[in-house]
């Protein structure tokens, strides 16, 4: 099992700190966020790690090297200035990720995710009529109260639908991913919403994917992740779970300082609150 840490973002909201340091290298409790990810992945037996970068990427490579100091093997996937968006970055790194399911984690989150358990779920992803993605969702943080997706009986939806409205014909896969994706979204909007919608949850930025989800994308071109996920959701090929443990999006200097203070006070232990 391989994992990819997404570290190519500019970190605009974290400026001026990110003017001189890539966001994943910012430290909390005396240790960079990305080092915490690498150590947790290695502890779970996931030692083959791919990291993409764009802004100040040379600093990431200089700090982490080949990963040997952390019991891991790191392969670097550099991107052009401005980066390639999430899906584009994953597609660009496919030469290192290979043809089997893999994990991804945003480089700017703090969490206590069980990577071994997620890896076990990843092995069940398949391009033949099975799931293409498994997402971990979390309670909506204060800065993102509207959430992203609905978790309905272990399936991730863009909006709540009844079982008989789920598209299960795998022949619609290619159409949903290309020109038909807009039609698919439109058909969902035409009367498919239930009267009482389940509350949305926030995508944690942590997931397992099958490479087939990104195979139609052109390498080296920017591509957003959300359209790929929504196309797969429309044909009921995205599962998910609600992570109720610790998860924090370290997106601003204020949140970084708050977490750093908590970890320092707790001597590096994970904060008890989610």
SS3 at position 139: coil
Q: Which domains does the chain have, with CATH numbers?
A: 2-265 (3.90.550.10)
Interval 58-63 mean pLDDT: 94
Strands (E), 40-158: 48-53, 73-78, 102-106, 109-111, 133-138, 150-152, 155-157
**pLDDT given at position 149:** 95
Reply yes or no on whether the pLDDT at 12 is more than 60: yes
- Whole-angstrom distance, CA of residue 69 vs CA of residue 3: 17
- Determine the Cα–Cα distance for residues 106 and 34; give it in Å rounded to an integer: 9
Average pLDDT, rounded, for the chain: 84
Radius of gyration, CA atoms only, the chain: 19
Most confident of 10-24, 72-86, 155-169, 246-260: 72-86
Local confidence band at 68 (pLDDT 50, 70, 90 cut-offs): very high
pLDDT greater than 90 at residue 136: yes
C-alpha distances in Å from residue 187, one per residue of 167, 181, 204, 232:
11, 10, 27, 15
167-204 pLDDT, tens digit per residue, is 444 434 433 333 333 332 232 233 333 334 568 999 99
Please give the pLDDT value at position 181.
33
- Check residue 271 and give its pLDDT: 52
Query: Residue 268 — very low, low, confident or very high, per pLDDT cuts 50/70/90?
Result: low
Q: What is the per-residue pLDDT for 32?
A: 92
Structure tokens that stand for 252 in this block: 């601003």
């Amino acid at each position: 099992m391989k994992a990819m840490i997404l570290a190519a973002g500019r970190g605009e909201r974290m400026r001026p700190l990110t003017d001189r340091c890539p966001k994943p290298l910012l430290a909390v409790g005396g240790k960079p966020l990305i080092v915490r990810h690498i150590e947790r992945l290695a502890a779970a037996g996931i030692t083959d790690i791919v990291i993409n970068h764009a802004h100040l990427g040379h600093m990431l490579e200089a700090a982490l090297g080949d990963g040997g100091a952390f019991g891991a093997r790191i392969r670097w996937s550099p991107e052009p200035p401005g980066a390639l968006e999430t899906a584009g970055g994953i597609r660009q790194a496919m030469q290192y990720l290979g043809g089997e399911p893999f994990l991804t984690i945003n480089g700017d989150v703090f969490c206590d995710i069980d990577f071994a358990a997620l890896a076990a779920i990843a092995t069940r992803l398949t391009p033949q009529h099975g799931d293409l993605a498994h997402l971990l969702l979390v309670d909506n943080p204060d800065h993102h109260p509207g959430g992203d997706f609905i978790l309905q009986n272990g399936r991730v939806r863009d909006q709540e639908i009844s079982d008989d409205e789920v598209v299960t014909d795998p022949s619609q896969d290619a159409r949903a991913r290309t020109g038909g994706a807009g039609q698919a979204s439109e058909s969902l909007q035409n009367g498919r919403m239930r009267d009482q919608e389940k509350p949305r949850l926030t995508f944690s930025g942590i997931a397992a994917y099958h490479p087939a989800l990104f195979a139609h994308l052109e390498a080296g071109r920017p591509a957003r992740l959300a359209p790929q996920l929504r196309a797969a959701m429309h044909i009921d090929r995205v599962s998910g779970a609600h992570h109720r443990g610790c998860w924090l999006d370290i997106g601003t200097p204020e949140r970084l300082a708050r977490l750093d203070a908590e970890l320092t006070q707790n001597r590096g232990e994970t904060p008890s609150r989610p």
